Amino acid sequence: MSSYNLPAAIGSANATGAESITIGNNPATTNNNGNLTDSAGNLQTDFVWGNFPAQPNDERTDGTAVEVVANNAAQNKSWSGYSVKPSARLNASLGNHSDIEADWANFPSFVEAAGNYMVTAASGNGTTVTYTSQNKLAAGDSVNITGLTASAYNLSAATVATATPLKFTVTNAANAGEITGQWYGKVEKTTARTAADGAGIGYIVVPSVVGNTTAVALDTLKDSGYEAANITTATAATNLRTSITRFNATSTTAATIYATSANTNYPVGTKVTIVAGTPAGSSPVNPPAYAVGTFTVTAVASGNITVSGTGFTVADTTGINSTLNLAGLEATIKSQSVAAGTASVASTATITVTPYAAATVS
């Protein structure tokens, strides 16, 4: 008899799981409890707790767009229909796949997996190889690393030198540069029960893309593990030039800029431009020459921002009344919907980035 901690879930009309899929095409019935069964009398179950093994729905795809090739394409113009290539990965956000794949193995005993985790990036310096992987490894563990595009980083029986929940290192002379965006990289402890133990789903530590160009931001997000289909670029943010009144260079590399709404228009990390326009009034004051250019915002306060740069002259220029001054740098990212540094974000999660529009004058 099977025991359950939760009510049995209803499976697909074709039945689910490796055992039931072979008979899923036969008519299903309903048992005395009102649960659907397949033609062998087994519950059409996606997942249950107890001594009944998990039966994930084999018909699920990962939810991303499939590759569709029309019959008029040059390479298959003689075909009568379409060529469809679905994804090879399940959608980790559905059912209990994340629990099954990330933490447990050896069904139906529910023994915690010995370790088999996804690797999303790697780099070497000739002495140490560092792998990006959300893991539960520890120094001294013996691991096999496979599936990476740089074969030098695919190691057998390598000893873990250091490990954190997000990265681990091994001592090895491999040096194939930095590789990112690895979808099929895997690290498995050599003591894992099977090759499928704790296979893991992809998790992301969200990078900061504020201040990057839109193209670089999208590439960075994909390299970190986000699915391309789940990255959205919002309508460009309004970018009105505002007159600055003061440029206080406190060092040769830092200055505080005073301008209307500067603290709300330009968050930390964004890039801003300063241009000199036509001074207004009877006592024209332009920003100093070293203040004209593109800078990165390093701090925000009420009514002002601090920027980093080079070649500033330590001076406090006040009374600036040039008509064209401060704006965000066009096509660089003003904000991201998920904060940089957020960890344990599924690769199937969504994120939106918002760039600055071209600067305009009100």
Domains of the chain (ranges, CATH numbers) = 112-201 (2.40.30.20), 204-235+335-361 (no CATH), 240-329 (2.40.30)
Q: Identify the band that residue 122 occupies on the pLDDT scale cut at 50, 70 and 90.
A: very high
Q: In the structure, what pLDDT confidence band is assigned to residue 102 with cuts at 50, 70 and 90?
A: very low
Is 339's pLDDT higher than 90?
A: yes
Give the model confidence (pLDDT) of 190-220 as tens digits: 876 544 444 444 567 789 999 999 999 998 8
pTM over 0.75: no
Give residue 186's pLDDT.
Answer: 84
User: How many percent of the chain have pLDDT more than 90?
Assistant: 41
Residue 39's pLDDT is what? Answer: 61
Q: What is the mean pLDDT of the chain?
A: 76
pLDDT at 128 over 90: yes
Query: Looking at residues 33-46, what average pLDDT do you find?
Result: 63
pLDDT at residue 3 greater than cutoff 70? no
What's the confidence (pLDDT) of residue 13? Answer: 40
What burial class does residue 338 get, using C-beta atoms within 10 Å of its C-beta: 0-12 exposed, 13-18 middle, 19+ buried? middle
Residues 252-280 pLDDT 10s: 999 999 998 898 999 999 999 999 887 77
For 281-325, the pLDDT digits (tens) are 667 788 899 999 999 999 999 889 999 999 999 999 999 988 889
Task: Kindly tell me if the per-residue pLDDT of 12 is higher than 50.
Answer: no
Predicted confidence (pLDDT) at residue 251 exceeds the cutoff of 90: yes
